[in-house]
Amino acid sequence: MISFSAVSKVYPDGTTAVHDLSLEIPAGRITVFVGPSGCGKTTSLRMINRMIEPTSGVITIDGTDTRQIDAPQLRRGIGYVIQNAGLFPHRTVADNIATVPVLQGVTRREARRRATELLERVGLPTSMARRYPAQLSGGQQQRVGVARALAADPPVMLMDEPFSAVDPVVREQLQTEFLRLQEELGKTIVFVTHDIDEAVRLGDRIAVFATGGHLAQYAVPADVLRRPADDFVAGFVGRDRGYRALSFAGATGLPVQREPTVRMGAAAPQGPGGGEHRWALVVDDDGRPRGWLDRDALSPGDPIGLQHLRLGGSLAAPGYSLRTALDAALSSPSGRGVAVDDAGVAIGTITLADVVAAIEATDRTALADPAGDDAGAWSPPVLAKGAERTVPAGDRGVPR
Amino acid sequence: MNWDWLGRNSDRIVDLFVQHAWLAAAATLVGLVVALPLGAVAFRYRWTYPPLTTLAGLLYTIPSLALFVVLPGILGTRILDPVNVVIALTVYTVALLVRVVADALASVPEAVRQSATAMGYRPVRSLVTVQFPLAVPVIGAGLRVAAVSNVSLVSVAALLGVEQLGSLFTEGFQLNFFTPIAAGILLSLLLAVLFDVVIVLATRLSTPWARAVPSR
Ligand SMILES: Nc1ncnc2c1ncn2[C@@H]1O[C@H](COP(=O)(O)OP(=O)(O)O)[C@@H](O)[C@H]1O
Ligand SMILES: [Mg+2]
């Protein structure tokens, strides 16, 4: 556990970067420092590994005052991931990752060998070990940065906007893998970001910093969205916070309707089109959704090709929240969001009306359990009355 | 061009060339070694940058001949001792390179420096194993200027009687004889080019990363 007690930082030019910060950071969890630029997040982070010394107050790690530990020694025991990775341009990827073990006296050979293992762990091919950082993409560099921070297996990791400089698609990937990695490793992580969405997605707890280095709120993500401590936090989490808060509402009890499907390449279905029958869900040979077919645009009997499909609606995978369900319904041309199972096979659809009804039925002031365990309570959706369990194989027209 | 004269004096000319080369090389190398820590201080403690670089600039304005003449008095060396020349030229090299080294260190990205600190490097190790290697391209460029300037400055020492290629100039003038002057100029030029090539190659060899381009 890392603890700040009454920590302030005033820079020599008189800027108060952090004001009277008291905070307990739980071990084994991800704690996110979030807030607008210039509110003291980086300063707070760097006071933990003593890259910046507090003006007043005490920071302890597992009860030990950090000032009692030799600073370079302290830092070797704390992983650090910097924005833009901050890799050493003159060292190969393997040598970059080997940095801290070598400082700790591990032989270069042994450190390189472990570095290669770590490359795999962060999802990079081992063939990259001998490249220089300049030969990697931004996302790959960031992964190497994470591997370097993990190399000496430190219990604590500090991450300063590690995913801010990569494009949104890569960022989402990196976030997903970061969460997976953390599930395996259970490090004590302090993560800085200015992006509230990232904070909500990654944080077990969120510390919202306000201008002037004040801690405005320290709570679980659902609480920050649902019960902002003050106008500043309310303004910072933004107008979409009602929508974001749906992330924490499990879709338990949301009915999944039976949805007939047609297979890619099969003949366009006969029968009445128009209205709710205008759109037909098209799946591949394995039953995974491919897109929606506009039956008005294709004569019955014609084979269905990719060019006839409306693609790209979001899917509700197991564990989905009301936010995901709502988005799936809104992003589907039919107004019906596609629910899939773990294997990605379509199990039916969720109607917009049902999602809205579920949202209305939710006690929105008590959606999140303030005690903290807000992510756990998901149970499989129940099927609507009268609906059989998803789609009979025959309906897919697939001889499986 | 009197080829006979050249043939007869070839042994001596080679000696002068070697002597010239080592005087210039020694001054350049010692100057670099002294300038590295001074430049690091000028970079690390910002307040020392203006006085150090100003002092260096002032040193550079001292006429070389004056320095050659005054140094033996200060150092207690014999006036004909070639060490005087090496020391005088080292002073110029340091004067030139302190600013170069400080600016070269400033060219290292701040994020890299910060991440060295964050990984647990102590200041000197960070300087030696991270910052200096990354400063090599800029330092190398400054070193080329210093080396070439040293090659030309060494000649002045001929006026004191320290033997090197410059001796060919003084002799040529005294005898009103063109051949040794031409030989001296050509060999100085050759030496300057040689130094330049060596420094460029050394810079390239020590910075394989600088030519690493995205591959995929
Ligand atoms: N070395 C410094 N000297 C003076 N002021 C600084 C220094 N570093 C940061 N600041 C100021 O302190 C405040 C907090 O900075 P920082 O911790 O970097 O914020 P954040 O990471 O939240 O953007 C800002 O106003 C910034 O300008
Ligand atoms: Mg910052």
Segment A110-134 shows an average pLDDT of: 94
In chain B, domain spans: 3-207
The pLDDT of residue A323: 86
pTM listed for this prediction = 0.78
Higher pLDDT: A36 or A321? It is A36
Q: What percent of chain A has a predicted confidence (pLDDT) above 70?
A: 89
The pLDDT of residue A114: 93
C-alpha A131/C-alpha B49 separation (Å) is 37
**pLDDT > 50? residue A377:** no
The pLDDT of residue A376: 38
The pLDDT of residue A386: 37
Predicted confidence (pLDDT) per residue in A168-199, tens digit:
888 888 899 999 999 999 999 999 999 998 99
Homologous superfamily of B3-207: MetI-like (1.10.3720.10)
Q: Which of A13, A15, A18, when mutated, tests ligand 1's pocket best, judged by the most ligand atoms within 8 Å of its CB? A: A15
Give the closest-approach CA distance of B203 to chain A in angstroms.
13
- At residue B84 the predicted structure's pLDDT band, cuts being 50, 70 and 90, is confident
Nearest-by-CA chain A residue for B123: A72
Tell me whether strands A30-34 and A205-210 are parallel, antiparallel or unpaired: parallel
Q: What percent of chain A has a predicted confidence (pLDDT) above 90?
A: 50
- At residue B6 the predicted structure's pLDDT band, cuts being 50, 70 and 90, is confident
**pLDDT > 80? residue B53:** yes
Segment B147-167 shows an average pLDDT of: 86
Task: Please work out, in degrees rounded to the nearest 5, the angle formed at the alpha carbon of residue A284 by the alpha carbons of A292 and A167.
Answer: 70
3-state secondary structure of B85: helix
Q: Is the dihedral of CA A204, A205, A206, A212 positive or negative?
A: negative
Predicted confidence (pLDDT) per residue in B103-126, tens digit:
999 999 999 999 999 999 999 999
The answer to whether A83 contacts B134, with C-beta atoms less than 8 Å apart, is: no
- At residue A365 the predicted structure's pLDDT band, cuts being 50, 70 and 90, is low
Contact A36, A92 (CB under 8 A): no
Higher pLDDT: A300 or A216? It is A216
Contact A308, A293 (CB under 8 A): yes
Comparing CB atoms, the residue among B115, B212, B216 nearest residue A134 is: B212
Predicted confidence (pLDDT) per residue in A238-260, tens digit:
767 777 778 777 777 788 888 88
**pLDDT > 70? residue A369:** no
- Greatest Cα pair distance in chain A: 79
Q: Is the dihedral of CA B49, B51, B52, B55 positive or negative?
A: positive
Q: How many CA atoms lie within 13 A of A289 on its CB side?
A: 30
Tokens of A80: 């650090």
The pLDDT of residue B166: 86
Q: How many CB pairs under 8 A join A and B?
A: 71
- At residue A382 the predicted structure's pLDDT band, cuts being 50, 70 and 90, is very low
- At residue A390 the predicted structure's pLDDT band, cuts being 50, 70 and 90, is very low
Give the closest-approach CA distance of A153 to chain B in angstroms.
13
CATH class of the A2-242+378-395 domain in this structure: alpha beta
**Would you give the DSSP letter of residue B127?**
I
Segment B10-22 shows an average pLDDT of: 91
Within 10 Å of residue A63's Cβ, how many Cβ atoms?
7
- At residue A393 the predicted structure's pLDDT band, cuts being 50, 70 and 90, is very low
- At residue A364 the predicted structure's pLDDT band, cuts being 50, 70 and 90, is low
The pLDDT of residue B79: 76
The pLDDT of residue B215: 58
Q: Using the atom order of ligand 1, give the atom closest to the CA of residue A40.
A: 17
Q: To the nearest whole number, what is the mean pLDDT of chain B?
A: 90
Q: Residue A83: its chain B contacts at CB < 8 A?
A: 111
- At residue A215 the predicted structure's pLDDT band, cuts being 50, 70 and 90, is very high
Order of strands, sheet of A16-25, starting from the edge strand that comes earlier in the sequence: A16-25, A2-10, A56-61, A64-65
The pLDDT of residue A259: 86
Task: Please work out, in degrees rounded to the nearest 5, the angle formed at the alpha carbon of residue A391 by the alpha carbons of A387 and A396.
Answer: 150
The pLDDT of residue A400: 31
Centre of ligand 2 from the C-alpha of residue A161, in Å = 7
**pLDDT > 90? residue B129:** yes
Tokens of A288: 């995974």
**Would you give the DSSP letter of residue A67?**
G
The pLDDT of residue A152: 94
Comparing CB atoms, the residue among B114, B122, B214 nearest residue A135 is: B214
Predicted confidence (pLDDT) per residue in A43-88, tens digit:
999 999 999 999 999 999 999 999 999 999 999 999 999 888 789 9
Residue whose CA is closest, atom 12 of ligand 1?
A: A17
- Hey, do A2-242+378-395 and A261-361 end up sharing a CATH topology, with the first three levels equal? no
Segment A317-321 shows an average pLDDT of: 79
Give the closest-approach CA distance of A40 to chain B in angstroms.
17
Nearest-by-CA chain B residue for A159: B118
Residue whose CA is closest, atom 21 of ligand 1?
A: A42
Higher pLDDT: A367 or A75? It is A75
Tokens of A115: 């570095």
Q: Please give the CATH architecture assigned to the domain spanning A261-361.
A: Roll (3.10)
- At residue A273 the predicted structure's pLDDT band, cuts being 50, 70 and 90, is low
